[in-house]
Amino acid sequence: MTTSADPSTGPVPYPPADPAYPSTAAGSFRFWFTSCRWEWSTELYRMHGYQPGEVEPTTELLLAHKHPDDRDHVADAIARSVDQGEPFSSRHRFIDTHGREHAVMVVADRILDDNDRPVGTAGFYIDLSDTLADAERDVVEQRLPEIIESRAVIEQAKGILMGMYGINAGQAFKVLAWRSQETNTKLRALAEQLLAELSDLPSPDAATVATFDHILLTLHHRANLGSHR
Structural domain spans, the chain? 26-132, 147-203
Distances (CA, A) of 121 to 35, 110, 117, 157: 12, 4, 12, 25
Helices and strands per DSSP (H, E), number in the chain: 9, 5
With H, G, I as helix, E, B as strand and everything else as coil, classify residue 226.
Answer: helix
pLDDT per 10-residue tile (average), the chain, 229 residues: 47 37 68 95 93 95 96 94 90 93 90 92 85 53 64 89 87 86 88 90 86 84 72
Residue 20: the pLDDT is: 35
Strands (DSSP E) contained in the chain are: 26-32, 37-40, 90-95, 101-112, 118-127
Distances (CA, A) of 215 to 36, 210, 219, 222, 223: 42, 9, 6, 10, 11
* CATH number for domain 26-132, candidates 3.30.450.20, 3.30.70.580, 3.40.50.300, 3.20.20.70: 3.30.450.20
Q: Of 9, 68, 6, 1, nearest to 28 (Cα)?
A: 1
State pTM to two decimals: 0.66
Domain 147-203: which CATH class?
mainly alpha
For residue 205, count other CB atoms closer than 10 A to its CB: 9
Measured distance CA(144)–CA(146) in Å, rounded: 5
